[in-house]
Amino acid sequence: MLQKEGQIRIPAGCAISGIFHRDGARENGARIIESIRTMHDRSNGLGGGFAGYGIYPEYADYYAFHVFYDTQAAKDACEQALERHFDIVDLSRIPTRRHPRITDEPMIWRYFATPLQTKLASSQLDEREFVSRFVIRINHTLEGAYIFSSGKNMGVFKANGFPEDVGEYYMLENYEAYSWTCHGRYPTNTPGWWGGAHPFALLDTSVVHNGEISSYDANRRFIEMFGYSCDLLTDTEVITYIVDYLGRKLGLTYPEIANVIAAPFWSTIEKQPPEERERLTYLRNAFASLLVTGPFSILVGFTGGLMALNDRLKLRSMVVGEKDDTVYIASEECAVRVIAPALDRIWTPRGGEPVIVRLNERGNP
Amino acid sequence: MAIDFLYPQYEVVRNYDRCIACRACERQCANEVHFYDPEFQKMMADESKCVACHRCVSLCPTRALKIVKTDHTFKANANWTGKAISEVYRQAGTGGVLLSSMGNPEPYPIYWDKMLINASQVTNPSIDPLREPMETRTFLGKKPGKVERDRDGRLVPNLSPQLELNVPVMFSAMSYGSISYNAHASLARAACALGTYYNTGEGGLHQDFYQYGPHTIVQVASGRFGVHKEYLEAGAAIEIKMGQGAKPGIGGHLPGHKVGPDISRTRMIPEGTDAISPAPHHDIYSIEDLRQLVFSLKEATAYKKPVMVKIAAVHNVAAIASGVARSGADIICIDGYRGGTGAAPTRIRDNVGIPIELALAAVDQRLRDEGIRDQVSVVVGGSIRNSADLLKAIALGADACYIATAALLALGCHLCRSCQTGKCNWGIATQRPELVKRLNPEIGAQRLINLVTAWDHELKEMMGGMGINSIEALRGNRLMLRGIGLTQKELDILGIKHAGE
C-alpha cells in the first residue's frame, strides 16, 4: 500500500504565485487562480492551495481554524478539544462547490475562536504560543483530524487536485484579500493527501514552496528540539516551523531570517564591511542548523506582509513584478503577465536575496 | 623454557638475487632484525624481533625484502586460536599484563562500512563543487539559543567562545612523550596551514610550540602533566580528558626511559621517572566535580576559550554526554573503541568500550531529545579512516571529527602496533634522537596537509552529489544515510533507514 505524507518523505517540484497590495486594497481570488492556471504544467494534479490575508475582517480578532476531518469520530474529538481550550464564536462547513476533478474530499470545517482566558492564564504562555501548541498537539496526536490553518484574519484553502480547480472548488471569488499566495504541486510519488498540499501554515505564517531541500533532516531534527513536530515530512512544513521559531520565538526580523535560512556564502560574507561581516557571521554561526540548502523558492505570508526568497544558488526560478502599489511574484513571468500585462518593473531576485513587501501607511492605517 | 618459545609471527623474505648487502636494512632497523654475516658474506635476519613496520622494505634500494605472515601454525582450532594459545604462554612465562598499541584490531563490526550515502537526481540537482561554492567551514562551541539587541536594535554578538575550523577535521590528542618532537612539529604546522587544530595530549606543550598556540588545543588530563597558567593561555581551547577510547576506565603510563630532559621539562616531572596518569581525575569523582573543573579552567582563562571534555564511548555514553553538556562544557569529544593509543593493556583495548558510530548516534539523539544539542558541539574520533567515514559521522550528527591514526599513517606509521617499545623506526612513537630525526617535520606537515586537503575535496564532491553545499546542512542529516545488512535494532540506534526504504 502506498504510504501517505507523514509516513514517508515525498520530494516535490512545483509552481508558486503571489499577489500583494501594499495599499491594503483587497481583491477576490479570481486573478490568483488565473495566474496559477497559466503554470498548469508545473503541477501534476496532486495538490494545490491558496492563502489569503485580510479575508475575515468581521472576525479579525479570532483565530480562524480550518480543519480536515477523515471521520466523524475525529471531528467530535477535535471539537471537544477545541471547546476545552477555546471560546468558539462561529463554526461552519467551509463552503465548496462540487467539482468534477476534486474528489475524495474530507469534511472541511472552520472555527473562529479565542483561547479561554482561564486556560490561557494557567498555561503561563503567551496567546500565540498557546494556540500554536494546541495546533501542533492536535495534528500530532489526533488521528484523522488536521488543522491546516490557524491564523487571525487569514486562511488557507487547499486540496488534492490542480490548483485552479482547487480555487474554484473553494469558491475563492467570495474572499477578498490584500495578499494572496498559491501553489501547484508536482510531487514525485504520493497517493495525494489533502493535508500534504501547500500552503503550510502555523498561526498567521504561511509558506508555499517550490523545490526540494537537501538539508531537510538536519533542519527537522534541529527544529523538533523546540516543540515542533514535523508530522508531514515535507520541506514546506519544516520551513514554516523555522520561520515561526526564528521570527515569533526568537524575534529575528524577516531580513535576518533570510540571512539564516539562505545565508550568504562565506566568500560573500568576507567581502562585507566589518560590521555587516560580523552580523552575518553571527547569524550563520548561531543558527547554523537552520541553513536550508537545495533548490527552493518560497513565499512566506504573514500579517501585513509577504517575503519571497530563493535558495542561495537560485536553483529555482522566481520573478517579481510591480505595478503601482501591487506586487506580483511567481515561478514564471507568464504567470504575472497573464494578470498584469503592463508592469512598472519586473526583475529576478538573486539567490538568497529576500524580497519583503509590507502594507504601507495607506494599507496599514 | 621451551614451552615459552613462540614461532615469530612474521618472516623476513630476502631475495638474495637482488640483495647487494648494502646493510641499509640493518642501519634502519631499531629492532635489530637484520645483521651482516661476514663468514657467509650475506645479510641475515632474526625475524623474532621483527614488528612488520616495513621500514627496511621501504628503504631497500633493490627491493629485495618483503615481510610475510608466517604459515607456521598450531593445530587448527576455532576456539583456541594461535593468538589465544600464544597469549597464555606469554603470561604463564612472565606473570605480566599483555600490552598493545594503536586501536582495537579485532574483527568487530565496522558500522561505517554498513552505511551508504545518498545522491540527488531529477527532483533536486546535484551541485558541482568545481563550479559552485562548497562550504566545509565549521564553528565549534555553544550556541546562544536566543538573540539580544542593543538600544538601536542591532544584534549583540552573544556567542560563547568558538573554534573556527576551515575543514571539519582536527588532529586528536597525542602527547609529547608518546610521540616525538618532530611528529608534534608536523601536526602543529599542518594544523596552522589547514586552519584547524591539533591537540597536545596530556604531556604539556613544548616551549618551541607555543608559537602555534592559536591552532593548539591544550589538554588537561588526570596526571596534570605540564599544566600551568601559560600553558592554558597558550591554546585556542582546553580539553579535559576524562577517557580514551582505547582504554576506557584506566589511566596512562609513560615509562621513565622515555622521560629525557626535554620531556621532563615539558611535563614538569623529574628526568627518568615514570609518568603515571591516574585512572580517574582525583578531583573528579562525580559530574558536579567535572563542572567545577570546567569552570576553574574557564576562570583561569577569563572565559575566553571553549572548554572541551573528552570521554570514551562506553555503554552509557549518552547519559554521560548529557551530563557533560550540562556541566558547562562547550564541546564534547567522544572517542570510540577503535581509537589508538601509545600503550594499553590488550584486554582493555580489545574488550572495553563501544563503536563510535553507535555512541555518536546515541549521544546526538539523546542531546536532541533533551533539547540541548545546540548547547554543545560534538566531535568524534576512533576511528575515522577516510572522507566517507567523516561524511557519515557528520550526517549522523557530529560537528567535526578527530583523526590521529590516519594522521600518523600520513607521517609514515605502518601500524605495526609496537609503539610501547619506543623503537619506532619511522621516528614517530620514539624519543631516540637518531630515530626522531628520520621524520622531517616539513615533509610531515606537507603530507598531513595533503591528506586533509584530499579528504576535504572528497567530502565536497560527495556533498555536491547530495545537493548540499554547506556542511551545516549535512550535520545530523540522517536521511542521507541508509544501512546495509543491519538489523532493525542497529538501524534504530543509528537512527537511519535500511537501503531500499
Write out the DSSP string of B162-215.
-EEESSSEEEPP--BTTB-HHHHHHHHHHHHHHT--EE-GGG---GGGGGGGGG
The shortest CB-CB distance from A212 to any of B124, B373, B474 is to: B124
Shortest distance between the Cα of A191 and any Cα of chain B, in A, equals 17
For cell 584486554, what's the residue? B347
The bridge status of strand B99-100 relative to strand B344-345 is antiparallel
Which chain B residues contact residue A291 at CB under 8 A? 470, 472-473
ipTM: 0.92
Which pLDDT score, from 0 to 100, does residue A302 have? Answer: 97
Dihedrals φ, ψ of B126, to 5°? Answer: -75, 160
Q: Would you call B135 and A12 a contact, using CB atoms and an 8 Å cutoff?
A: no
For the record, the C-alpha cell of A248 comes out as: 515569533
Which residues does residue B183 pair with via DSSP β-bridges, in sequence order? none
Contact: B371, A225; criterion CB under 8 Å: yes
What 3-state class would DSSP assign to B161? coil
Spell out the domains of chain A, with CATH numbers in brackets.
12-358 (3.60.20.10)
Which chain A residues are Cβ-neighbours of B472 within 8 angstroms?
215, 218, 288-289, 291
Instruction: Give the pLDDT score at A235.
Output: 86
CB contact under 8 A, A293 and B162: no
Position A190: which residue type?
A: T
- Each residue's pLDDT tens digit, A39-96: 988 888 788 999 999 999 999 999 999 999 999 999 999 999 999 999 999 999 999 9
> Which CATH number among 3.40.50.300, 3.30.1330.90, 3.30.70.20, 3.40.50.2300 corresponds to the domain B2-96?
3.30.70.20
* Closest residue on chain B to A288 (Cα): B472
CB burial class (10 A; 0-12, 13-18, 19+) of residue B22? middle
pLDDT value of residue B218: 98
Task: Classify residue B30 as left (phi > 0), alpha (psi -120 to 50) or beta.
Answer: alpha
B470 and A291 within 8 Å at the Cβ level: the answer is yes
| Chain A residues within 8 A of B372 when measuring between CB atoms | 225
CB A213 within 8 A of CB A296: yes
How many A×B Cβ pairs under 8 Å?
111
**How close is the nearest chain A Cα to the Cα of B283, in Å?**
34
> What values do phi and psi take at A273, rounded to 5?
-60, 155
Element (H, E) at B235: none
CA distance A59 to A271: 49
Q: For B364, which residue in chain A has the nearest alpha carbon?
A: A221
Q: Is B456 left (phi over 0), alpha (psi -120 to 50) or beta?
A: alpha
Q: Do A217 and B154 touch (CB under 8 A)?
A: no
Grid cell digits, residue B239? 580539553
With b for 16 or more beta-carbon neighbours within 10 A and e for fewer, the A6-29 pattern comes to beebbbbbbbbbbbbbbebebbbb
Residue A333 near residue A293, CB atoms below 8 Å: no
Active-site residue, A14 included: yes
Backbone angles phi, psi at B239, to 5 degrees: -110, 125
Query: Which of the residues in chain B have pLDDT under 70?
Result: none
Tell me which chain A residues have a C-beta less than 8 angstroms from the C-beta of B133: 265-267
Distance CA B168, CA B256 (A): 36
Instruction: Please enumerate residues of A whose Cβ is less than 8 A from a Cβ of B.
Output: 9, 11-13, 188, 211-212, 214-219, 221-222, 224-226, 250-252, 256, 263, 265-267, 278-279, 282-283, 285-289, 291-295, 312-313, 315
Residues B26, B32: Cα–Cα separation, whole Å:
7
- Which residue of A lies nearest to B465 if distances are taken between CA atoms? A214
| Contact assignment for B147 to A252 by CB distance below 8 Å | yes
pLDDT at A9: 63
How far A87 CA sits from the closest chain B CA (Å)? 33
From the CB of residue A358, how many other CB atoms can be counted at a distance below 10 Å? Answer: 16
Positions of CATH 3.20.20.70 in chain B: 168-498
Residue of chain B nearest A226, judged by CA positions? B371
The beta-carbon neighbor of B469 closest among A252, A279, A313 is A313
Show residues of chain A in contact with B128, CB under 8 Å: none
Residue in A212, A266, A286 nearest the CB of B143: A286
For chain A, residues with pLDDT lower than 50 are none
For CATH 3.30.70.20, the residue range(s) in chain B are 2-96
- The answer to whether residues A288 and A281 touch, using CB atoms and an 8 Å cutoff, is no
Per-residue confidence (pLDDT) for residue B231, from 0 to 100: 97
Q: What does the buried/exposed string (b/e) look like for A114-125 if buried means 16 or more CB atoms within 10 Å of the residue's CB?
A: bbeeeebeeeee
Q: Which residues of B touch A312 (CB under 8 A)?
A: 469
Shortest Cα–Cα distance, B398 to chain A (Å): 11
Grid cell listed for B236: 585556542
Rounded to whole angstroms, how far apart are CA atoms B490 and B203? Answer: 38
Closest residue on chain A to B134 (Cα) = A265
CB pair distance less than 8 Å for B146 and A250: yes
* Strands A107-115 and A205-211, bridge-based pairing: unpaired
What cell was used for B232? Answer: 592554558
Q: What pLDDT is stored for residue B354 in this prediction?
A: 97
- Could you read off the pLDDT of B249-306 as tens digits, one per residue? 998 888 888 888 999 999 999 999 988 899 999 999 999 999 999 999 999 999 999 9
Cβ atoms of residues B120 and B467 within 8 Å = yes
CB distance A353 to A340 below 8 Å? no
DSSP conformation class of B370 = T
Select the residue from B475, B478, B496, B498 to test the A interface by mutation, using most A Cβ atoms within 10 A: B475
Question: CB–CB of A291 and B125 under 8 A?
Answer: no
Of A188, A211, A221, the CB nearest to B476: A221
Cβ pair B470:A217 closer than 8 A: no
Question: C-alpha cell of A364?
Answer: 496599514
Cβ proximity of A292 and A263 under 8 Å: no
Question: What phi-psi label fits residue A272: left (phi over 0), alpha (psi between -120 and 50 degrees) or beta?
Answer: beta
Pick the CATH number of B168-498 from 3.30.70.20, 3.20.20.70, 3.40.1360.10, 3.30.870.10: 3.20.20.70
Q: Which residues of B touch A315 (CB under 8 A)?
A: 125
Comparing alpha-carbon positions, the chain A residue that sits nearest to B138 is: A285
User: Would you call A103 helix, strand, or coil by DSSP?
Assistant: coil
Which pLDDT belongs to residue A190? 54
List of chain A residues whose C-beta atoms are within 8 Å of the C-beta of residue B374: 222, 225, 289
Chain A residues with CB inside 8 Å of B124's CB? 11, 211-212, 214, 294-295
8 A C-beta contact, residue B339 and residue B318: no
* pLDDT at residue A195, as a whole number: 84
Catalytic residue among A14, A78, A182, A230: A14
Residues 390-419 of B with CB under 8 A from A: 397
User: What's the rounded Cα separation, in Å, for the pair B182 and A278?
Assistant: 38
Q: Is B500 on the interface with A (CB under 8 A)?
A: no
A contacts of B476 (beta carbons < 8 Å)? 217-218, 221-222, 289
